Chains A and B, each alone.
Chain A
Amino acid sequence: MLSTFLSHQWKAFWRSRNKAGSIAAQIVLGFFMLYFLVVAIGVGFWMTSIIDKIMPGISPTIVFNGLILYYFLLDLAIRIQMQDLPTLSIVPYLHLNISRRTIVNFLNLRSLFSFFNVLPLFIFLPFIFINISAAGGVVDVVVYLLSILGLIVFNNFLVLYIKRRAINNVLIFAIGIMVVLGLAASDYYGLISIRAFSNLVFQNVVRYPFLALIFPLAAFAIFYINAKFLTANLYTEELSSKDDKKVSTDYPFLNSFGRVGELAALELKLILRHKRSRSSVIMGFLFLCYGFFFYRLPLIENNEFGKMLFAAVFMTGINISVYGQFMFAWQSAHFDGLLVNKIDHRDFIKAKFLLFTIGSTLITALSAFYGFMSYKLLLLHLATYIYNIGVSTIVVLYFANFNYKRLDITKSASFNWQGVGASQWLLSLPLLLIPLIIYIPFGVLNQPYWGLAALSLLGLLGLLLRNYFIKIIVNKFEKQRYKIAEGFRE
């Protein structure tokens, strides 16, 4: 029975409706995974020399012991965000003559087929087989293997259990990251030492091999709890999100923009009431930290804006590129409805401009805290902000007319490649390149401020000519609307 389930899953993956479109995305994802695997193998085999480089003079085994729990703590934090729950796939089986146990077993078995369960094997096993076996022999190897495998399975089911019990993913993620960061910080400042603790644990495990059984036992315990919870709550209604009372809302501020404002309010509700768009928004705020990687004091002192331009354009226009790349597919579920209703296509496009402008203004205002580093950054942000609302919006909305892929926005965003196509990748390129092309000549001539002025001027030009460009976008939209609607109906 389990093998039948697995073969169904396999077919579901290969026969999924949007497969053809996203096969490229799958390949990209595959490359990422391959890359991580290769890195993991590399780290695994050369761990001794890496440890020697980073912490010379300390026994590799001690560092290795210290790493184990550290790694699995981090692993836990990442899994909480990334690992998904295989729940909906069981709906067609629930009413059949299949015992609950079998279904629960299937769910649990399926969850083991995860990238996160493979990665640590590559990182830890080489060291165990090369160094530990040389130093301690067969018993030590078995002890470490039991521990590592136990920890993998433990983390796997712990995350599933937490996620099944949790309603609000974002909060859980935040708490998970906080706990891990908190532990890491206290480790760094020497309040408590995870590495010392981890080292202590594994030294004792080696000394008293039977202690290694703790890990498989813990794994089994959480597996058991998880399975029991699942068996008792095998109702898809309860496994998915909770129902609370929904209320109608109104945005008086947007109402002052008339019909355009109403449409913008409609879209704002769309953003706030769907998982995928909500996580895009949260991502936008997280990317506000991007500047810390790119803004360096020497760059600021020498007015080398060119090297910081990328980050500035990215941050002040994050909502435009992240939300705009899937435009108009966010509304794919009710696109027919929008077309048959008495909505002027000009208003439809203008509403998107309005939303982009508001979003960009908000995020640029928030990014003002970089002003504490230097007032020059404020100028930089101002220039890129004007460019973004003036030019990026036009580019994004024009290219939105060529996106025919339906988007299922009720699913979360991480590792969700549905609706992603070549046009999305191509789109972000000109957005980031245009400002560079504008700025570089001024940068070369050592006129950085004129470069920013030129960029702002381009943005202002876009703003002034907005109505003209709206006309072009609307014309294109009218030609493309059948094709878009057909694609969204798929």
Chain B
Amino acid sequence: MIEVKNLVKSYAGRTVVNIQQLSIKTGETIGLVGNNGAGKTTFFRMLLDLIRPDGGVILSKDMDVSKSASWKDYTASYLDEGFLIDYLTPEEYFVFIGSLHGLSAAHVADYLKQYEEFFNGEILNRGKYIRDFSKGNQNKVGIAAALMQKPELLILDEPFANLDPTTQIRLKSLLKNLSQTQKLTTFISSHDLNHVTDVCNRIVLLEKGSIIKDFYTDENSLKELEAYFSE
């Protein structure tokens, strides 16, 4: 699904991302972990063609993401509030995103019904623009809009941050379900080791831009990660 080769990005002489090789197979749920400044978000931005790499390529379904926009057909993402159009109401935003994927307003409304539980009654029909919501609720809007696009590849940057415990648990089961039923390939970055090891079947550990660990999760993964981070 994804093939990363010799990817390099540096700012002011400091290497932020330096990934020699990384391949992702369809259906994998990958957790990207690492301390602040490890290059997680920069990597995601390059994956989404928002930043031009200094060297190397990222192939999505064998197509270079910076050369062709075909990856947009099957990729959905939510990195930060910059992805939301914050002067719209959530309903307007969902309808707009839906229209980009050929969904009518009625379809969108229908689709949103299954997320009533996830929204916990705090998102729809509140008479507010997205900019007036709390950060956690903005996250919910962004994640739900990403899922609505029925992606094959989903990219979420710290999706658990700012969410209340109930929603965190709901999001986890949602992600697990999707990877099983729809063969969804997911990229998640998180600082919460518990969540990451729980949801993901593969962990990629970044340090100063390079991959230093890459393994499939088992019952010892959490301990292994905790050991690394407490050094």
Residues on A close to B: CB < 8 A?
Answer: 243, 245-249, 259, 262, 266, 269-270, 273-274, 333-337, 339-343, 482, 485-486, 489
Contacts and interface: CB of A to CB of B under 8 A. Distances in A.
A273 B129 contact: yes
Contacts of A246: 89, 127-129, 132
Contact of B88 (A243, A269, A335, A341): A269
Contacts of A245: 127
14 contacts: A245-B127, A246-B128, A248-B91, A270-B87, A333-B82, A334-B83, A335-B82, A336-B50, A337-B82, A339-B50, A341-B97, A342-B72, A342-B101, A482-B52
A442 to B, nearest CB: 46
**Would you call the interface of chain A mostly helix, strand, loop, or mixed?**
helix
B124 to A, nearest CB: 10
A248 B89 contact: yes
Interface of B: 45, 48-52, 69, 72-73, 75, 77, 79-80, 82-89, 91-92, 95-97, 99-101, 127-129, 132
B89 A486 contact: no
Contact of B87 (A259, A269, A342, A343): A269
A489 B132 CA distance: 20
Contact of A342 (B45, B73, B83, B88): B73
B51 A482 contact: yes
Given A340-B72, A341-B72, A334 B48 contact: no
Contacts of B132: 243, 246
Contacts of B77: 340
Nearest to A244: B127
Contacts of A339: 48-50
Contacts of A266: 85, 88, 96
Contact of B99 (A262, A270, A485): A262
A70 B115 CA distance: 62
A347 B96 CA distance: 14
Given A245-B127, A333-B82, A336-B82, A274 B50 contact: no
Given A246-B129, A335-B82, A262 B87 contact: no
Nearest to B83: A337
B86 A334 contact: yes
Nearest to B92: A248
Nearest to A344: B69
B85 A336 contact: no
A410 B128 CA distance: 16
Contacts of B101: 342
A149 B86 CA distance: 45
Contact of B100 (A273, A341, A482): A341
Nearest to B82: A336
Contacts of B129: 246, 273
Contacts of A482: 50-52
Nearest to A339: B50
Contacts of A334: 82-86
Contacts of B51: 482, 485-486
Nearest to A486: B51
Contact of B127 (A247, A274, A340, A343): A247
Contacts of B83: 334, 336-337, 340
The listed residue with most B CB atoms (<10 A of its CB), out of A262, A336, A339, A342, is A342
Contacts of B99: 259, 262
Contacts of A335: 82
A248 B91 CA distance: 7
A273 B80 CA distance: 22
B87 A485 contact: no
B87 A273 contact: yes
A270 B130 CA distance: 13
8 nearest CB pairs, A to B:
A245-B127, A337-B83, A273-B87, A342-B72, A336-B82, A482-B52, A342-B100, A334-B85
A245 B101 CA distance: 29
Nearest to B48: A340
A200 B132 CA distance: 53
Nearest to A482: B52
A445 B45 CA distance: 59
B170 to A, nearest CB: 24
Nearest to A488: B82
Nearest to A409: B87
A245 B84 CA distance: 20
Contacts of A274: 87
Nearest to B87: A273
Nearest to B100: A342
Contacts of A340: 48-50, 72, 75, 77, 83
A269 B75 CA distance: 27
B98 to A, nearest CB: 11
Contacts of B69: 342
Contacts of A489: 82
Contacts of B85: 266, 334, 337
Contacts of A259: 99
